[in-house]
Chains A and B, each alone.
Chain A
Amino acid sequence: MASGAIVTVTGLFKKFKDFAAVDDITFSVERGEIFAFLGPNGAGKSTTIKMLTTLLQPTGGEITVDGNDPANRKDAVRKSFGIVFQDPSLDDDLTGLENMRYHAILYKVPKDIRDERTAELLKFVELWERRHSLVKTFSGGMKRRLEIARGLLHHPKILFLDEPTLGLDPQTRNHIWNYIKDINRQEGMTVFFTTHYMDEAEKIAERIAIIDHGKIIAIGSPHDLVARTNTTSLEEAFIALTGSTIREQEVSSLDRMREMGRMWRRQR
């Protein structure tokens, strides 16, 4: 374990029935780093994040988040992170402001900071004028922006972002990433995110892990990954490594064996 690591994962497993969603992964994230998880749909990204954030119990392996094990020291771990989930997590029957306040109180953000930061963040995501509207009247993008604002409300040591920019227009994405990078730089907040936008990962992430079928198949800086695969962009590197777009048509013999192995395991 590197001394500067804030997240360490060793031999992590998660099985749903007999299907391994996360299959023996090992990696670590340095304090203050911006780290990305890339992988095709169903690769196991969200499942890993859920285990890191105390929402799911691992089947096996070891995790530490800010020095604590999420399985045993849930409260200590919960104090250390903020998260923007992939799926919706707002209360539609409350207003934007009420959703923010609820979060601030659960996370014990002191009152003066709370009001100031709520105003700042809501203005930043351009929801200040709509703060008294019920969330159910928001568009998809507005809800997403509110969730991001909420995730930034208590400045955590680690921020998990599971496809945070899904459904946002490019201007908003840019705007939000700049803000997150600022906090990362000023407060040393570690950022752990997933995305399907390769340009985003290439621009933002310092290190990337590529995960497929529950296994990490490559890890390194965007530059490393491109160099290692002899490609010219992260998108090409990603396709070279995961090959998912052609898997259905021209299945390589190795892929076929993996597929059969998986079917066989599933049937048992």
Chain B
Amino acid sequence: MSTIYILWLRQVKKYFRARSRIVGALGQPLLFMLAFGFGFGQVFRQAGQGDYIQFLGPGIIMMSVLFAAVFSGIDLIWDRQFGFLKETMIAPVPRWQIMLGKTLGGATVASFQGLIVFLMALVIGFRFHDPLMLPLGALFVFLVAVIFTSFGVAIASRIEDMQGFQLIMNFLVMPLFFLSGALFPLQGLPAAMEVVTRVNPVSYGVDGLRGALIDSSVFGIATDLLVMVVLAVVLLAIGSYLFEKIQA
């Protein structure tokens, strides 16, 4: 327990110390909300889809959670480069506890980032429909955070440098976000896109959060939740497995 806690604490402390990073990471979601929200608002309304800010809010929250989570998992690469990983790896504690502590810490940080974006969205004009559903929304955020922090840890366990990381970001994480229904509705898509969005786990996270915040879900909240929980468990397992194999 104490091992998991101290690893969690380290992640959280480091996050709150890197203020410039927090602020920097908020610029992008803000830009997206303003540019897309107001830019496409008219088109969206004319197409009979309602208020775009309402639709976009949960998508952008998940975007920031997704990126923050992948980044906090992947910072393992720095631990290795600066040598700190050795100190952790030779400690007489099971490695899965190290992995779990680090992942929960990263997921906490990413969820917190999501909370800030949520508050920003409120300022811009986003309105949620039922305060009682907020905890469910928070659960979806946390699950996505756990999934993608584990994903980041798994990747960082296998690659040595930042070049590999760029590849992953551009060819995996970006597409996962853009093809998730975070920015556009999932109904009435061309068949190929429909398939892609449905196998994309991020779609279920975004859909679940929309269900919780604005009461509009395509797959149904129960399905969304099931997919997220299963994926979180699977990715934690994969992350732990790959983490065990690191030779520091």
Contact = CB atoms under 8 A, between A and B. Distances in A.
Interface of A: 53-57, 75, 78-79, 83, 85, 87-94, 98, 101-103, 105-108, 134
B72 to A, nearest CB: 13
Nearest to B14: A93
B98 to A, nearest CB: 9
> Is the contact region of chain A dominated by helix, strand, or loop, or is it mixed?
loop
Contacts of B93: 106
Contact of A55 (B5, B89, B94): B89
Given A103-B87, A108-B92, 7 more contacts: A56-B247, A79-B92, A85-B83, A102-B10, A102-B87, A106-B88, A106-B91
Interface string B1-31: 0110110001001100110000000000000
A72 to B, nearest CB: 14
B92 A91 contact: no
B244 to A, nearest CB: 10
Contact of B92 (A56, A78, A90, A102): A78
B91 A94 contact: no
Interface of B: 2-3, 5-6, 10, 13-14, 17-18, 79, 82-84, 86-94, 247-248
Contact of A108 (B2, B14, B79, B90): B2
Contacts of A85: 83, 86-87
The 5 closest A-B pairs by CB, nearest first: A106-B91, A78-B92, A79-B92, A105-B6, A89-B83
B84 A55 contact: no
Contacts of A78: 90-92
B77 to A, nearest CB: 14
Nearest to B5: A105
Contacts of B87: 85, 89-91, 102-103
Given A105-B6, A106-B3, A89 B84 contact: yes
Contacts of B83: 85, 87-90
